[in-house]
Structure 1
């Protein structure tokens, strides 16, 4: 009898030794949660099962993830994302933003690493021809590099306090 118990214990240990993520008894309750991989899970339990397989997976929020895989036109009107990547058009940028969550658009046109200058925080205002105020000449030159139509202009009068 002892031998049978030892044998069964060893057999069970072998059966579960390679299975680091045993399946959970998740309910069929549909309370969707959005995972950081852009996938919608039917509830937190099924997300937890997936987290066992992928330790970097987290819950972004309760509710379904947006459908980010929509078709985009083939026209090339590039925009530069805050991640330094050039996207073929605004639709492609919005798809990437949908997938990444916190992506911003820097400017229209291809990303130009020469435009990304390190500027001081000095405040010596410079204005462009559209009346926008830049904190200093370096910041203005970076903006001008991104948008070739900018020229230096007059700053609006600011009333003292």
Structure 2
């Protein structure tokens, strides 16, 4: 029994040594380089960096308004929703003295909507703000 185990072991070791060497008549295999990635076309339109009067602003692209304009959101929307969009609106320089308090999206109470928009903020709610925020 030992003789059979010895012969079998020698045969297996000899067979393994034979399989370790690659055949010499085959050429070496070289890896091919992957093809280069296609380049983006130059005619791709760029997104506008700023929006003009009446154009959409904010939103998921966070488009800003041109100087002298602010992004007016729908009343009550503010910017608490990531993809909420508004419209670029001119900042008014003069407002009436009508007292109809509103709470701006900046957390401050304004005398009316016009005054809030003049401060470049949208309307969070009708009436005064419950908790005033102060700048220090």
TM-score (norm 2): 0.30
Q: Which structure's relative contact order is higher, taking Cα pairs within 8 Å and 6+ residues apart?
A: 2
TM-score norm. by structure 1 comes to: 0.26
The structure with the largest alpha-carbon Rg is: 2
